[in-house]
Structure 1
Amino acid sequence: MKVAISKWFFLSLSVTFLLVACGGGSGVGPTEVKKREDELKKELRVDWETYEAGDLQGALGAFQQTLLNAATKSGTESIRNQVMSEAQNGIGWIYFKTQSLDSASVAFNEATKLNRRNEDAWAGWAGVALANKRYSDAARYADQALSI
């Protein structure tokens, strides 16, 4: 009887260990992660096409949706940050074009936090600083853009 209890104990302990050890992941394999990252990059291309077509309100909504999607979808952190940075960059340029300079500054700041190598966001932030007559900031941001 004691041997049977020991076997059941070790069997249940082993099963519990396997369940705990296998848990904690996203359950999404590398192929699915790559697919989701590609979808996010495709969304960005469509967002920029909307912006370039002059539909700023449509582009703003599209960039905001891409930002939300990137924050909630599985993917590598570096790709998600690149996508979110580029979406924030797009939002920044929309606000810059519509003369909402404070909102543009916030968006460009977020974009550069997410991806320090986003030269377009640095250039946009330099433009905002220049428009606000903050010349030393404008020079610093422009220098950062040019150094990338």
Structure 2
Amino acid sequence: MRIGDMVRRTGVSERLLRYYENQGLLSPARRASGYRAYTEADVATVARIRGLLAAGLGTATIARVLPCVREEAEVLAPTCPDLVAELRVERDRIDLAIGQLLTSRGLLDQVIAAGPAAPPTEEPEAPRTAQTTQTAQTAQTAQTAQTAEAI
């Protein structure tokens, strides 16, 4: 598939796909014309890259992890034991961040519970059309005329 199809399939921009390629994370084949030719495996690789980025790994670490990930089970291959220690450090960092976020959420929950009930939200004002604007102006003009007569 061409890059436009890859963008639609993965939700990743052309620029980001090229960046992944420049970082050594993605290696699409090239057609005789020079255009990139992506495969279903490339779609899976992009999903894996996005997941690892979301987990907080940098592209340099991801470049070392990707060759060790087995396609079918997404586990480290036995040939990459040197990454296990580094990935444990990353996991511990993520666990710490999760703990901090849970603490923050707990604090917000306490503040929300201690505060008064939120007032009901008001209905948004309907957009004015030319007719409603004219009707409002006519009503205002009539009221002004009545006030002037009373004086």
Same fold (TM over 0.5): no
TM-score w.r.t. structure 1 length?
A: 0.22
Q: Which has the larger radius of gyration?
A: 2
Q: What is the TM-score with the length of structure 2 in the denominator?
A: 0.22
Structure with the larger RCO, 1 or 2 (CA within 8 Å, 6+ apart): 1
- The structure with the greater share of residues assigned to helix is 1
